[in-house]
Structure 1
Amino acid sequence: MNHAKLMEQRAQALGGESPRARGKSKDLKALEWVWRWDWSSPKIVDQVASPTRRGVARRLIERGLLKEQPTGSGGAKGTAATVVALTPEGRIIVESEIENPEQLSEYPGFRTYRPMQMRHDLLVQGAVAKWLFEGVFIHYQAPSEIAEQSLQGTKHPDAIVIDDEGNRIALELELTAKKARGMDAFAWGLVKALREEQFDQVIVFSPSRAILKCYQQRFQPGAQVKFWTKDLRGRAIPQGVREMPGWVEACILFLEIEV
């Protein structure tokens, strides 16, 4: 293969961008992801910025744009040995690209990282990254962005993804079965958010088929959902019962995932 042909194929692979411009675009995509989620893992950052090649996160760490923190998990399945957040220099790069001042807010970084929640939060991030790459959805909202827009008293999902028709789909990852009061609060919180059009649909996903079955039963039309109050001793007691509306069933998808 001659040099000219090789250069032509390389340019096509880069979509007309120079290697330098493509590298800068990947870096910005990675930094923006971490900025929106507050923190992430090197693996997910690479998946977002360069799905077919690795090393973007490591390069950004070496350039002083990301800082790395060990998790103590040893990198067990579904977790990460380290997590990353933006350095002040990395934050400057991201925020210099933002044209709408209303999008600027305090960047908490590792302050929102919760070791006991790490597996849950990384599985949510990984699912969103995967579905964006596959073209299942085209946009997303991270937890902090949802909290800024949600009505008081409504359910805040783990993330929101948006399809090419503009439908907003709430994501709820469930790794454990909730107890009665928690399940009732979860179920009616989603009903309220759907009714108030906080989002259009919900995907409840889990690696456990048994957990999904438990949630499916609670969302069956006519299923009883208790609402709770506290007695004089501060103990939670059921005060009444609502029925799950029939229209909710069409708005919720239950999805088993691999970890």
Structure 2
Amino acid sequence: MERPAWAPDEVDINRPSVARVYDYYLGGSHNFEVDRRFATQVLDVLPEMAAVARQNRAFLRRVVHLLREQGIDQFLDLGSGIPTAGNVHEIAAGIGGEPRVLYVDNDPIAVSHSRALLSGDDRTEVLAADLTDPRAVLEAPLTRRHLDLDRPLAVLLVSVLHFVGDEQCPDEIVRTYMDAVPPGSHVVISHASDAGHSGATDAQTVYNRGRSPNAMRMRDVAEVEALFGDLTLLDPGVVRIPQWRPEPGAGTTMENYPGLAGVARS
């Protein structure tokens, strides 16, 4: 296919990307035909996948609101993806004050579009890095310049750790980030889970047999709880995403929602 003008030269436009596929689920426009074909395979076995993505975004909105109300004004968004409506900086700024956000991703399109979108916003920066290398992220000059690691902040791992295999020790990755920030910091995790949902199991198979560069490792409640280590989980603990502090009147839709979420404080 012809390369769009907005696609960096290093992007393989003939291979799906999890960031661009997720952008498609959310109704974004920065995806290719190969991403849409891949997404269709997932939607064939998990038709509610677009709704799942929207619920995950709604969770992000709720938790950023909560953390801003508790005085957190710095956010390290790991695996932030392609900019779409309702980004962390927009949510955080809506509460007032001068919140600072550092987006981190290793997808060239996610990075380039984030930088274009945020040009001129000195409260928000974008770092091209892999979240599975915490030292590289934490010691990057941009990180040190933009965030004050001596003050509490929020580490966001939203819908990304299911692309980190057991051999990469995701619990150690989380611990490394949280060991580098002071008490009072929070970590936010949402994670795909196939517990009680056959369609989610089939979706995992699509990711793992397909041409996506990122295999998927779904985890159950106990496994997601283990990612938080000895941090203190906020109520209601690790639950299905729509059930994490739902907004009044929202109900508990999709009781078999194939995803879990939790927030913990150091």
* Length-normalised TM-score, structure 1: 0.32
Q: Normalized per residue, which structure has more strand?
A: 1
| TM superposition score normalised by structure 2 | 0.31
| Structure with bigger RCO (C-alpha 8 Å, 6+ apart) | 2
Q: Which has the higher helix share?
A: 1
